[in-house]
A and B are shown apart, each in its own frame.
Chain A
Amino acid sequence: MSTNESIGNIQEQIVALLPRLRRFARGLVRNPHDADDVVQIAVERALLHLDQWHRDARLDSWLFKIVRNAWIDEVRSRGRKLKIFMPEEAGENVGEASMDRVIDRLSVEAALSRLPEDQRLAVSLVLIEGLSYRDAADVLEVPIGTLTSRLSRGREALQAMLQLPGGEIS
């Protein structure tokens, strides 16, 4: 944080990453407004602790880590787990997607929200955000073997809930 330029520059990089941070949070918190609140809290924290970001580390990974911590803190410390995780949360935001896509999407979101926290984080980072196993393990601060086992269990549970096509041999 040596110059105003660099602060502004980091802020603009954070702005550019907001869509991905929002998507990541949406995988963790179904209600879109609550998900954005988690992002907001995370961004506030990030700005308070810019000195803890090492320039050689990826900014997106660092921010994902803060989003994840903000989410866990909210869930734990506020004791509002039920409120946040209510699968039948009102206000599903379906946008203008076609009906098929809506059904598809709701079921994916519902399934993801039923996974345990650890698996949901692993699935969100790897399958939704497209992080490598190594990067996802870094964000979650776990060994890579732990990440792959959470991912594997999460996938198995999702497959069971979603009954996706694609397993059939054509």
Chain B
Amino acid sequence: MTLTDETLMAYADGEADAETRALVESAMRDDPEVRRQVERHRALREAMQGAYSSVLHEPVPDRLIAVARGQRAGERGPERAAAGVLRAPLRSASASRRWQPFAMAASLLMGIGLGYLGWHTSNGLVKSDASGGLIAGAGLAEALSNQFAADRPAASVAVTGISFRNKSGDYCRTFSLSGSSGLACREGSSWKIKVLAESAQPTQPAGAPDNFRQAGSADSTAVRVAVEESMAGEPLDQAGEIAARRSGWAAASAR
């Protein structure tokens, strides 16, 4: 029988079953051309492995280790951001603080220290729910439920950013508190905090020109990734926000 090149490739990759192996080996003994083809496949495999094997021995950048350990979503340095090659805010996490894993059950906390979280908690902005996750406390919930992106009061502690529906049909809104930003989604009668992350930049001073896209730009990578991943369709415009508020931010399935 004639052995196809794919069969010889599978043999060279160690993927052939015993029967095929025997066939190929017998053909290799009889036919130098078969032997040559198998050797080509092996040589390519070795060349590919050899070309990239050194990557395994390079020191892994600290920022990647920090991110893997949940020590804040890092952002990369300005020189890379200026090059604009990929998503801008990836920077070294060298100045990172550990997030505290105690509330990880349902909320992702990035770069939020215990004391900081305690401060939010004491302000009533954030509280734990029965499952150990975080939900918006009264002050934040009020803002999430009632503020529109375009007309938020400058003095407010909690300001809303973009609003959208997630893939489960729930309404979600980004918000920023002083020093942190996050994403909350309306589940039942509470705003469940999906992500709370230390802000990449200081929040705008009160009285700064209102521009919710600017507020969005202070969102951490973690918030942005969460928004990108959970958003179904486009962000709501103001009419959409008004309609959503009128509905009490009820999930699509509940209407």
Contacts and interface: CB of A to CB of B under 8 A. Distances in A.
B230 to A, nearest CB: 9
Contact of A104 (B47, B108, B222): B47
B22 interface: no
Interface string A134-167: 0000000000000011011001101100101111
A40 B92 CA distance: 11
Given A31-B85, A167-B36, A44 B44 contact: no
A155 B49 contact: no
B54 A97 contact: yes
B48 A128 contact: yes
Contact of A169 (B32, B54, B56, B74): B32
Interface residues of B, number: 57
A155 B226 CA distance: 37
B35 A18 contact: no
If over half of A's interface residues share one DSSP class (helix, strand or loop), that class is named, otherwise mixed; here it is helix
Contacts of B43: 164-167
A4 B129 CA distance: 18
Contacts of A123: 48
Given A133-B10, A169-B36, A11 B70 contact: yes
B48 A18 contact: no
Interface in B31-90: 32, 35-36, 39-45, 47-58, 60-61, 63-65, 67-70, 73-74, 76, 80, 84-87, 90
B48 A41 contact: no
A109 B47 CA distance: 10
Interface stretch (B99-107, B151-159, B170-178): B99-107
Interface string A5-16: 001100110110
A60 interface: no
Contacts of A97: 54
A48 B226 contact: yes
Given A41-B90, A80-B86, A22 B60 contact: yes
Contacts of A159: 40, 44
Interface residues of A, number: 65
Contact of B6 (A44, A148, A169): A148
B64 A23 contact: no
B65 A18 contact: yes
Contacts of A47: 67-68, 70, 108
B35 A169 contact: yes
A29 B52 CA distance: 12
Contacts of B50: 101, 104-105, 108
Interface in A25-45: 26-27, 31, 33-34, 36-41, 43-45
A43 B61 contact: no
Contacts of A33: 76, 80, 85
Contacts of A165: 43
A1 B132 CA distance: 12
Contacts of B74: 40
Contact of B63 (A8, A40, A149): A40
Interface in B153-203: 195
| Closest 9 pairs (CB-CB, A-B) | A166-B43, A108-B51, A127-B48, A23-B55, A14-B68, A105-B51, A37-B86, A19-B56, A4-B101
Given A80-B86, A167-B40, 14 more contacts: A20-B56, A22-B64, A23-B56, A33-B85, A37-B86, A40-B74, A41-B90, A44-B73, A44-B222, A128-B49, A133-B10, A152-B6, A155-B41, A155-B44
